[in-house]
Chain A
């Protein structure tokens, strides 16, 4: 898999979308922006399910320029696409260790729960332990575990992320982990700093893709400014969490 192509479907009222085919390449980060209810999650879902004109949006997703036959869709989707949704909780009633072992077994991966936790604990300030019950993890711990799981057990070439900013985890480290090894990453975001990390952003409105905006040179400069502000915010956040005075 080198490239995904999104072909137009229709908006929430059935009006045909009027964009040219959007080509998404491996190794690139793309962001998806728009108001709540504008159809961002549905676009993510189309990509996840490798929609062939049969989803609620009517869009078609091509893999390396070719449609995907129905009998191969579920298997290909499972192999190629990892999805970090908006949920911040696990529901399975098992321990962190059993969860990681079971999932590695499902995916036929030779990796120990310890190796995964090492990485998970780099992005969450509250360490996760093997014996913890999965559904008693905090929002941030759950999110960090989901990210570690996607990075090390799924290891899929396409990674879909519905809002990385949630739960106070280290956004940049998390994105860095998920982008390793030449992946195609699509991130839904409301955050200008995250949006400007990508060279291209897909804009949604009323259920339709309304524009694909390229990052301008002025925006690239703005990104540097937002990055400095983000680092300042993080420093304040750390002080705040430690109970110290910010000024």
Chain B
């Protein structure tokens, strides 16, 4: 089990890979070359980006499974793989899916990557991925005014006052040096071989999880949630 596991989670296209492209060379220079795991759902060409940097990389495609569940199910194998690569640091990038849950465990240094240009309501919609993160990377800061960046930072501070905040411009690499320095200062935290999720995962096991395609009450089994329509609830028809 590697001593340092850095998790980068965040929605699609927020700039996780751009952050890593600037960050990984700095971690490599520091004398502790990491190995990298990319978790995606359908396809990913990012392994090539990491391999170009001369770092061991593995891609996990979750396919039909929730990528967060998939990542947790593969953690022990990832620890062994990192050990086999003789890497003391494992960096994991994952897109997540519904952001209801987070694959962060207690032993990881868990980060959430957020796009400044998204809605200012976006942080409030992220759940434990943001509220339980150890650090938050704010990307595309060159696209917003200083005032907007301050407002977004303040909103994140309200949701997670403990997280270290790193505003960056991933394309030009501004701000990545501070993030690298901070990550390298984090104490080793992973050697026990045991780990626990910070937050429970959604309890969604319904017909649709196992391949059902037909719509209608008759085809819904397992854990099924319903919208609360308030007083004017429509009449239920099965």
**CB within 8 Å of B: which residues of A?**
45, 49, 54-56, 70, 73-74, 78, 82-85, 87, 90-94, 99, 102-103, 105-107, 146, 149-150, 153-154
Contacts and interface: CB of A to CB of B under 8 A. Distances in A.
A74 B150 CA distance: 12
B150 A103 contact: yes
Contact of B150 (A87, A90, A107): A107
Contacts of B119: 93
Interface residues of B, number: 24
Closest 6 CB pairs of A and B: A106-B154, A92-B120, A91-B117, A83-B146, A103-B147, A102-B151
B174 A45 contact: yes
Nearest to A142: B145
A106 B151 contact: yes
B205 interface: no
A55 B177 contact: yes
Interface string B24-44: 000000000000000000000
B177 A106 contact: no
17 contacts: A49-B175, A54-B177, A55-B177, A56-B172, A82-B146, A85-B142, A85-B146, A87-B142, A87-B145, A91-B117, A91-B143, A92-B144, A99-B148, A103-B147, A103-B151, A106-B151, A146-B147
Interface string B44-73: 000000000000000000000000000000
Contact of B120 (A78, A85, A94): A94
Contacts of A84: 145-146
B189 interface: no
> Which of B146, B147, B152, B153 is most buried by chain A, counting CB atoms within 10 A of its CB?
B147
Q: Is the interface of B mostly helix, strand, loop or mixed?
A: helix
B121 interface: yes
Given A102-B151, A107-B150, 9 more contacts: A70-B178, A85-B145, A91-B144, A92-B151, A103-B147, A106-B150, A149-B145, A149-B147, A154-B147
B120 A93 contact: yes
B143 A87 contact: yes
A93 B146 contact: no
Given A55-B174, A56-B172, A56-B173, A93 B121 contact: yes
A247 B148 CA distance: 44
A169 to B, nearest CB: 15
Contacts of A107: 150
B47 to A, nearest CB: 26
A120 B142 CA distance: 23
Interface of B: 116-117, 119-121, 142-148, 150-154, 172-175, 177-178, 181
A193 B172 CA distance: 31
> Which of A70, A92, A150 is most buried by chain B, counting CB atoms within 10 A of its CB?
A92
B151 A49 contact: no
Contact of B145 (A70, A74, A102, A146): A146
B145 to A, nearest CB: 5
A200 to B, nearest CB: 25
Contacts of B177: 54-55
A105 B151 CA distance: 9
B174 A99 contact: no
Contacts of B173: 56
Contacts of A73: 178
A89 B226 CA distance: 40
A47 to B, nearest CB: 13
Contacts of A78: 150
B120 A49 contact: no
A55 B169 CA distance: 12
